[in-house]
Amino acid sequence: MRILLKSVLVQDSQSDYYNQRVDMLAEKGRWVRIAPSIDEKADVLIDQPGLSWAPSLVDLRVHHTLPGGEFKEDWNSLTSAAKKGGVLDVVLLPTGNPVPQQPEAIQLIQSKSENFGVHFHPMAPLSIDNKGENFSDLFDLHRAGATWFSHGAGSLQQVDLFTKSLQYLQTLPVTLVSRPDTEALSLYGQIHEGLQSTLLGLKGIPVLSETLSIKRDLDLLAYVMDNSFGHRHANFRLHFSCLSSRTSVDLIREAKKNGLPVSADVAIHSLVFTEEAISEFDTMKKVNPPFRSEDDLAGLWEGMEDGTIDAVVSDHCPHEQEAKEVEFDHADFGTIGLETLFLMWKKQAELRNVPHWDRLVSENPARLAGIQSVGLAEGGIVKGIVYQSGEAYAYQLADIVSKSKNSVFLGEVFTDRILHVLHGENILYSY
Amino acid identity of 97?
Answer: N
The reply to whether 315 belongs to the active site is yes
Q: Are 308 and 264 in contact (CB under 8 A)?
A: yes
Q: Cα-flanking dihedrals φ and ψ of residue 271, to 5°?
A: -95, 0
Residues paired with residue 91 on neighbouring β-strands, in sequence order: 121
**Before 94, cis peptide (omega within 30)?**
no
Half-sphere exposure of 267 (CA within 13 A, CB side): 31
Q: Are 379 and 124 in contact (CB under 8 A)?
A: no
Q: Are 303 and 253 in contact (CB under 8 A)?
A: yes
Nearest-angstrom CA–CA distance, 165 and 127: 9
Half-sphere exposure of 319 (CA within 13 A, CB side): 21
Measured CA angle at 180 (ends 177, 182), to 5 deg: 135
Residues paired with residue 421 on neighbouring β-strands, in sequence order: 385, 429
Picking from 3, 10, 81, the residue whose alpha carbon sits closest to that of residue 404 is 81
Amino acid identity of 378?
Answer: E
Q: How is 151-166 classified by DSSP, letter by letter?
A: BTTB----HHHHHHHH
First to last CA, the chain: 20
C-alpha pair distances (Å), 173 with each of 142, 213, 233, 249, 368: 9, 24, 6, 25, 11
Q: How many residues does the chain have?
A: 431
In angstroms and rounded to an integer, the radius of gyration of the C-alpha atoms of the chain is 21
- The gap from C-alpha 362 to its chain's centroid, in whole angstroms, comes to 10
Q: Which of 296, 310, 315, 416 is catalytic?
A: 315
Measured CA angle at 321 (ends 317, 322), to 5 deg: 110
Q: How many CB atoms lie within 10 A of CB 431?
A: 11
C-alpha pair distances (Å), 24 with each of 16, 21, 88, 212, 342: 13, 10, 20, 50, 22
Q: Are 89 and 60 in contact (CB under 8 A)?
A: no
Picking from 14, 13, 42, the residue whose alpha carbon sits closest to that of residue 23 is 42
Amino acid identity of 25?
Answer: L
Task: Indicate which residues carry an active-site annotation.
Answer: 315
